[in-house]
Chain A
Amino acid sequence: MWILLVLTQNIAFAQSRSVTGKVVSQDGEGLPGVNILIVGTSSGTVSDAAGAYAIEVPEGYSKLKFSYIGYATEEVDISGRSRVDVMLIPDISELSEIVVIGYGEQKRETLTGSISQVKGRDIVKSPQPNVSSSLAGRFSGIIANNRAGEPGYDDSSYFIRGTATTGDKSVLVVIDGVPGQLGGLNRLNPNDIASISILKDASAAIYGSRAANGVILVTTKRGATGKPKIDYSFDLGLSSPTRLPDMADAPTYAAILNEIEYYNNPAGGLNQIYSEEEIRKFADGSDPLNYPNTDWAEATLKKAALQSRHNLSLTGGTDNVNYFVSLGALSQDGIYKKGITKFEQYSFRSNIDAVVTDHLDVSMGIAGRQEERQFPVYGAGDIFRSIYRAYPYVADVYPNGMYSGGIEGNNPVVMVTGIGGVDINPKQIFNGILKGRFKIPGVEGLSLDGFYAVDKSWNFTKKFAKPYVLHDYHPSDGTYTERLTGGSANRARLDESHNNQTLSTSNLKLNFERQLGAHHINSFVAIEQSKSHEENFNAWRLRYPTVETPELSQGGSAPEDKYNDGWSSTFTRRSYIGRVAYNFNEKYLAEVQMRIDGSSTFPRGNRYGYYPAVSAGWRLSEESWFQNVSFIDDLKIRASYGQLGNDAVPHFQYYNNYGFNSGYVIGGSAYPGINLIKLANEQITWEVAEKTDIGINALLFNGLSMEVIYFKQKRRDILETRNASIPNVTGIVNPYSAESLVPDENIGKVNNSGWEGTLGYKNAQGDFWYDVSGNITYAKSEVIFIDEAPSVLEHQKRTGRPIDTYLLYNVIGIFRSEDELDDYPHFAGAKPGDLIFEDYNKDGSLTADDMVRTEFSNLPQLTFGLNINVGWKNFDISALFAGQGRVRQYLLPESGTIGNFYSSWADNRWSPSNTNGSYPRVDTRASSSYSGGQYRNNFWLHDASFLRLKNLAIGYNVPESLISRWRISSLRFNLNAFNLFTLTKMKDFDPEGSHEGGHFYPQQRIANFGVNVQF
């Protein structure tokens, strides 16, 4: 009480004076919405539409700080001045950029952690509407791979500095302060994003138990004081696959079938199925009815699909209320010729900030999104599988216009259409945040803030599958027979599901920020808690009397025609958070933070984890003895260390779990039996990451910036399930592709270390300006402990190697002849034309002991990016190159009599007549053949390194003189592209793919035209 009294007295005696002025840009135009802060306090104001401002400055304060996104922050001495006009210069150095950090903001020069930030204006340059696909290559430390390109399901997988866990690898996304906000990052409207920050080191520890894999912070745009500004943009794009495999044609495949039959029965010769005459007929197209030659990809896919985007936003504000309101619409078509695949998204966002009293600010953010997905009843994986499987010697459509049966009733040309029914999947997301900030009177720099956020999502699917008729042509008698397919039981079938999720998050935070002479303190303590809840409901109905009534109520009435199930889950968390950041003259920087996290995932006693972090920085360039080093404008060394956690494992693992499973029939019906699902681990608790980070930032020659970072992470107590070390005779046996019986245990240990480097240069000369920035990241993990069999062989161990490597036979060639076969060890059953596996242990025989663990996995150890921006007068061009190295992807296509071959294999196969082929002989089923899946080997392991032009954007701003009479303040035209070209050794597929059979909707190349107009 005494302290309070003293403090209030201090304030009460303070005097103040008025300062006014105007903030302008280089060309003299007023800048609206510039933040103006009285240095040493937390009070300030914002410039109005014309750039003018007025502020009351208390006695004893003599500096104003002007900051504006995209411009260098200026600090101006106002001693003895009442009018202060300021010109802001576009930010070349980005040194004084304000960076969003966990629970706050910080100037880049006082940062002690490794944090990368990208602005929304860079993200909108990509025509790919999925935000996760706009991260790759932009800055060091992030590894993003676009695994597939289906509209609505084109998310990239992203990791920060690789991975250091065998458990859950997902990155925590925090949007406007809400950790794990429903709806996530990927489908945000890029036009709503102000900035994205990536917390790569211990600075993420402020997010505690979910931060071990790194944190991405997203802030959305807010209004600025000024007259209303309307911004409208329209984009129209064409997308097409980056690459598709060439498939064997009918004569080639017919010859292959003959070869397969020959290998199964050599006595029968090489024409057991098709004669040379028939193969000729496939080739010459003389008899398309009996000897077709179908290119299934061409039959199914169109050259390009349309996508379009509209975006409208309104920003502005008065002294008391600022607003940002936006509307967005997105539409993407599938690349199928007659397809019904479609993704549409509508979104709105309204961010309103209000000053209620001198002490109280309130803001409210509301965002909503409708994602409408429409698909045929077959998934993209099935459709592409059918395209690659379907035989080239089967017609897609007969000359009389009837669709063929394709491959076993799967005709991809028909599968993509609505003939077999429609699968709709609308999803709505609502995010609401109410924030308040209260400046506690009497204590300067002390404030209380908090927020309450509610997220909801509703995800509904309705899939109505209808039977339809395909036709089979019978060459023997020239007739067609019907092949009834689709639906279920020759009738229609309806599947419906609901998934509703709720997340509520509340936060109360007490802040203290103050400049005291040369000392600056910024600190807070907070409590946060959240509860997420999910409800699921599924039902299906069979045997619809008619296809005209696609409603759950209208299906068949027998008990076996109906089914329903559902489940729900709840997670709760509670956290206590604190941080003190201190700097002395912005020269010596230090920060201490701590989070105590409690999670409902773990049993009482093991619930709370402690996540401390410390960091420090030293700006050498601020030292007086440094001032004579003229070419260095800024030099900082910094280091951080902290502990972070990972708790992303299923609930209830601390006791034996039993669940109902009605699989066994007694009497006339399935009995509600019970299975043991999970054994108990009473000790289960977090996974802990210890992160160390050392960095140097420098700014040289007024334009050259560089950053070098060394990082190291030690992950321990990794939650993983034992499998290899528990013998099956104990009866503790994990099932295949289902929940593991063995619970997660805190046993794994992984180290991950590497470095990042960024080098940039910016320059402007007259009408011409450019900036170039390159970044490179090398991150390598090493497994220190992972569950392995006690007698695992040294060269097969996962321990000591990176995570997720492959265990494969080394291929050293192809057996060209019987003689070669006799000369080298091989497994029983090898024939000429099969791959030669290395006898790794040189014991003269091949066994599983000769398998070798690979050096690389499908997560690249090396990623790099190059960002070039060039402007001249009203033109600007930006190009983003992204690449990766030290990465491998296994891909063995599903081939044989089960389906067609890639041309790369078909044309280069070993065969009795082509013993120099570079691919092994063909076989009945690649997945179980000698050279294929039976002895998984590195012939099918591909180097997935690439360099690609991820993004290219060319813009033209129409000169103001031409448009001003239309009351248009800005008019801009864009041409931009995504994945424009790629250099890679991968032959058949996009190197970013991860499906080992290649069955996925291909990644897209997009060319886009856009126009943007502002009023």
Chain B
Amino acid sequence: MKTIKIFLYASLAGSLALSTGCDENFLDINATDRVSDASIVSDSTLFEGFVINRYMGIRLTEKEGEGTPPGFGRGFEYALWSSLTDESIYNNDDNTWVIQRGQLAPENLGIAGTLWGRSYRSIRECNYALKNIGAVVMSEARKNLLTAELKFIRAYRYHDLIRNYGEVVLLGDNVPNLGDDFLDPGFFQKSSIADAIEYVAGELDEAAAGLPLNNSSGWPLGRATKGAAMALKARLLLYAASPLYNAGSWVEAAQAAKDVMELGKYNLHGDYQSLFLDENSQEIIFERLYRVGTRHVCLEISNGPNGYGGWGGNTPLQNLVDAYEVVVDENTAVPFDWNNPDHVNNMYENRDPRFYSTILHNGAPYRGRQVETFIPGGADSRDGNDNWNTSKTGYYLRKFIDENLPIQNPWDVAGIQPWIYIRYGEVLLNYAEAQNEAAGPDETVYEAVNLIRDRAGMPDLPAGLTKEQMREAIRRERQVELAFEEHRFYDVRRWMIAMETENVPAYGIQIEKDGDTFTYTRKVAIDGRSFKEQHYWLPIPRSEIQSSNNQLQQNPKY
């Protein structure tokens, strides 16, 4: 009994001691490095900060988004999207050869597995902002601007999805949340390509209506303008009309491109090579800017020749080199011909000037000396330093490269070139292609293509081309003009020529030097290049099909 009493006494004293220390606020801690929905919606500056970052997406795999998060498409990464095409191969593989070799599959996505997730995350975030913008304390005018901007960003994400996956799920204005039933079939209902493009084109119309024509101090460079929305729409409609999509009309595509041309705002940049280093160019319609501290990969070292200390990353293929015409005289240019010994023996003479701006070849002047890919003894060949980095194709990337930026030790200096999403040159080619398909090679078609060729320093197209000849000419023009700009991958698919172009071996060049003469031999750079029927569209990741409980339909033939 006494024991119990003593214990009671003890407990009493104990609870007394406890009650004195009770202060629930002791456990209330406020975050000092993050804010809540309430802040986002109540503070117009924060809200706009949220909107602006939607131009970027999240990183979803390693070797992606070095320096800053990825934007739309792939952009400047170690392995460029071009290294999944007949433009280049990535020297160190890094999950690109799996695609070059036709092994792309839902469980084996190489570098092509992140667009799905990244795009949908951004779309959801745009939807969140669109849903809440009404509550933000902000002028109606500013709200309209931001609404238009959000619609543009969301449309660009859909554009990324459609051109890679074909039929995609449209989220509408839905903001899915954690409490939702993620097995709801509504999440997995794909729209037809036609419906999706119609939706996105409509969104782009609304965006174009709300966005300003020009960048300004209140709307700085890097934010979308009216022209960006219109040009993106023109690209989408061109895709829609193309054979693979078969979901639109060439007339509408031509008109959409023409609408951009008639804005009268854009002009071709005077010089092709420097265009890619000048973020203020009149030719650029929409771009991503970079600065030291918010850079992309340092292109000079990652792509540079081994003899300069570069890593020889994205190395152009002979397949692309062959596409550059040989200039015969000021009015004539002819295709390069392997059966023509003059062409072969003077491989790098009199080629389309864009060749020299795009590709570093043996003998090209670069940083105070000539590039040497010849053997034996070439400084940028397997006989040079760091020969594990030497090009398997005999070429190195020149486009985008800034000679003023260092190759060695570039980390806090380089990686600052703009990535151009849309430029006027493409719009002209989009117009020419659509117009040629819609109405044949009329004067406006010639005019558009020749503007591009003039700027490049190439002779005009010969008069009197048939529609088919013009189609071929435009395709070649796109191949060389837009090389490495993430077009070839989509062009060969929508034209449905990939079964041919992508089943050609990945060729490089072997150059043997004997005295002053060079012998050029075509060789296979990586074995087993292949493209199969299913590869017209990317496979949806296996994990995505599984998390949908097999409700989401995989693309055909995977």
| Contacts from A to B (Cβ < 8 Å) | 3-4, 6-7, 257, 263-268, 273, 391, 405, 407-409, 443, 445-446, 448, 467, 472-476, 483-490, 493, 508, 510, 512, 514, 516, 519, 521, 523, 525-527, 529, 531, 542, 560, 563, 567-574, 576, 578, 580, 598-600, 604, 607, 651-652, 655-681, 722, 724-733, 735-738, 741-743, 789-792, 827-829, 847-848, 896-898, 924-925, 927-929, 934-935
Residues A484 and B379 in contact, CB atoms below 8 Å apart: no
Cβ B92 vs Cβ A897 within 8 A: yes
Contact A828 to B102, CB < 8 A, known contacts A489-B409, A657-B36, A790-B546? yes
Closest residue of chain A to B169 (Cβ to Cβ) is A729
Cα(A729)–Cα(B161), bound, Å: 11
- Taking the complex as formed, is B180 at the interface, i.e. its CB lies under 8 A from any CB of chain A? yes
Do A729 and B18 form a contact, CB below 8 Å, given A488-B412, A658-B36, A665-B290? Answer: no
Taking a contact as CB atoms under 8 Å apart, the answer to whether B53 and A475 are in contact is no
Q: Quick one: given A476-B377, A493-B412, A525-B11, are A673 and B176 in contact (CB under 8 Å)?
A: no
Q: Once bound together, how far apart are the Cα atoms of A576 and B15, in whole Å?
A: 9
Question: Bound complex: CA of A677 vs CA of B182, how far in Å?
Answer: 21
Given contacts A574-B26, A665-B289, A934-B108, contact A731 B183 (CB under 8 A): no
Contact in complex: B28, A600 (CB < 8 Å): yes
Q: Is the CB of A570 within 8 A of B29?
A: yes
Chain B, range 392-430, C-beta contacts under 8 Å to A: 392, 406, 408-409, 411-413
- B40, B108, B384, B406: most-surrounded residue (chain A CB, <10 A): B108
| Distance from B531 Cβ to chain A, minimum over Cβ atoms (Å) | 12
Contact between A730 and B35, CB atoms less than 8 A apart: no
In the complex, chain B residues whose CB is within 8 Å of the CB of A600: 27-29
Which partner residue on chain A sits nearest B25 by CB separation?
A572
Identify which of B18, B53, B108, B118 contacts A673 (C-beta below 8 A). Answer: B53
A409-B309, A664-B222, A670-B294 known; A679 and B50 CB under 8 Å?
no
Q: Chain A residues with Cβ under 8 A from B504's Cβ?
A: none
Contact yes or no, A664 B27, CB < 8 A: no
Q: How far apart sit A725 and B547, CA to CA, in the bound complex (Å)?
A: 5
Interface residues of B in 509-533 (CB under 8 A from A): 523-528, 530
Given contacts A489-B412, A519-B3, contact A599 B27 (CB under 8 A): yes
Closest to A10 in B: B2
Cα–Cα, bound, A490→B386 (Å): 21
Contacts A409-B408, A736-B60 given; indicate if A264 touches B527 (C-beta within 8 A). yes
Give chain A nearest CB distance to B543 CB in angstroms.
Answer: 7
Q: Which residue of B lies closest to A731 (CB)?
A: B124
Bound: A489/B295 CA distance, A: 14
B347-389 vs A, Cβ < 8 Å mask (1 yes, 0 no) = 0000000000000000000000000000011110011111111
A652 to B39, CA, bound (A): 15
**Given A4-B9, A671-B53, A732-B124, 14 further pairs, Cβ under 8 A:** A267-B524, A407-B386, A472-B385, A485-B408, A490-B406, A525-B11, A664-B68, A675-B50, A728-B544, A731-B121, A731-B176, A827-B103, A848-B105, A928-B94
Task: Pick the interface stretch among B80-88, B436-444, B548-556.
Answer: B548-556
Q: List 27 A-B contacts (CB under 8 A).
A: A7-B6, A476-B376, A488-B411, A525-B11, A525-B17, A525-B18, A531-B26, A560-B293, A574-B26, A600-B29, A652-B34, A660-B49, A665-B289, A666-B220, A671-B53, A672-B49, A676-B50, A727-B188, A727-B544, A727-B548, A731-B121, A731-B175, A736-B60, A743-B178, A827-B103, A848-B542, A929-B93
Q: Are B178 and A681 in contact (CB under 8 A)?
A: yes
Tell me the B283-317 residues at the A interface (CB within 8 Å): 288-294, 309, 311
Chain A residues closer than 8 Å to B548, beta-carbon distance: 727, 729, 790-791
Q: Is the CB of A728 within 8 A of B121?
A: yes
Query: A527 and B34: CB pair below 8 A?
Result: no
Q: Given A663-B69, A665-B290, is A790 in contact with B124 using a C-beta cutoff of 8 Å?
A: no
Distance A679 CA – B29 CA, assembled complex (angstroms): 19
Indicate if the CB atoms of A731 and B34 lie closer than 8 Å: no
| Beta-carbon nearest neighbor of A510 in chain B | B14
A724 B543 Cβ-Cβ under 8 A: yes
Known: A510-B13, A655-B36, A658-B50. A742 touches B178 (CB 8 A): yes
Pick the contact of B120: A407, A493, A598, A731 (CB < 8 A). A731
In order of increasing CB-CB distance, the 6 nearest A-B pairs are: A731-B124, A848-B107, A673-B53, A667-B220, A525-B14, A789-B546
Instruction: Give the distance to chain B from A371, nearest Cβ to Cβ, in Å.
Output: 27
Residues of chain B touching chain A, judged by Cβ–Cβ distance below 8 Å, are 2-3, 5-7, 9-11, 13-15, 17-18, 21, 24, 26-29, 31-37, 39-40, 46, 49-50, 52-53, 55-56, 58-62, 64, 68-69, 92-95, 97-98, 101-103, 105-108, 116-118, 120-125, 127-128, 169, 171, 175-178, 180, 182-183, 187-188, 217, 220-223, 288-294, 309, 311, 376-379, 382-389, 392, 406, 408-409, 411-413, 523-528, 530, 541-550, 552
Residues in A whose Cβ lies below 8 Å from that of B293: 560, 563, 670
Given A572-B26, A651-B31, A542 contacting B7 (CB threshold 8 A)? no
Give Cα A617–Cα B16 distance, bound, in whole angstroms. Answer: 33
Q: Which residues of chain A are within 8 angstroms of B18 by Cβ–Cβ distance? A: 525, 527, 576
Query: Could you say which residues of chain B place their CB within 8 Å of the CB of A568?
Result: 32-33
Whole-angstrom CA separation of A754 from B258 in the bound complex: 74
**Among candidates A490, A607, A829, residue contacting B103 with C-beta atoms closer than 8 Å:** A829
Query: Cβ of A485: which chain B residues have Cβ within 8 Å of it?
Result: 408-409
Contact B412 A656 (CB under 8 A): no
- How far is the CB of B383 from the nearest CB of chain A, in Å? 7
Please determine whether A733 and B27 come into contact, CB atoms closer than 8 angstroms.
no
Point out which of B97, B128, B176, B187 has the most chain A C-beta atoms below 10 A from its C-beta.
Answer: B97
Cα A355 to Cα B75 in complex, Å, equals 73
Nearest chain A CB to B332 CB, angstrom units: 36
Question: Quick one: given A265-B525, A485-B408, are A273 and B55 in contact (CB under 8 Å)?
Answer: no
CB <8 Å contact, A664 and B56: yes
The answer, among A266, A273, A473, A925, for a CB contact under 8 Å with B94, is: A925
> How far apart are the CA atoms of A544 and B92 in the complex, in Å?
35
Q: State in angstroms the CA–CA spacing of A7 and B530 once bound together.
A: 95
In the complex, chain B residues whose CB is within 8 Å of the CB of A483: 309, 408
Question: How far is the CB of A608 from the nearest CB of chain B, in Å?
Answer: 9
Contact B524 A265 (CB under 8 A): yes
Q: Within the complex, what minimum Cβ distance (angstroms) separates B286 from chain A?
A: 13
Rounded to whole angstroms, the CA-CA distance of A468 and B526 in the bound complex is: 37
Which single member of A263, A486, A730 contacts B527 (CB below 8 Å)? Answer: A263
Q: Are B383 and A675 in contact (CB under 8 A)?
A: no
Question: Measured between C-beta atoms, what is the minimum distance from A39 to chain B in Å?
Answer: 18
In this complex, the member of B9, B103, B122 whose beta carbon has the largest number of chain A beta carbons within 10 angstroms is B9
What are the residues of chain B within 8 A of A408 when measuring CB–CB?
Answer: 309, 311, 386, 389
In this complex, the member of B69, B386, B544 whose beta carbon has the largest number of chain A beta carbons within 10 angstroms is: B386
Contact between chains at A655 and B37 (CB < 8 Å): yes
Q: Is the CB of A598 within 8 A of B27?
A: yes
A512 proximity list for chain B (CB < 8 A): 6-7, 10
CB-based contact B59/A735 at 8 Å: yes
By a CB distance below 8 angstroms, the chain B residues around A657 are 31, 34-36
A268: chain B residues at CB < 8 Å are 523-524
In the assembled complex, how far is the CB of residue A389 from the closest CB belonging to chain B, in whole angstroms? 10
CA distance A263 to B392 in the complex (A): 13
Q: Are B61 and A736 in contact (CB under 8 A)?
A: yes
Inter-chain CA distance A652–B36, complex, in Å, is 10
Contact A527 B117 (CB under 8 A): no
Q: In the docked arrangement, what's the CA distance between A409 and B389, Å? A: 13
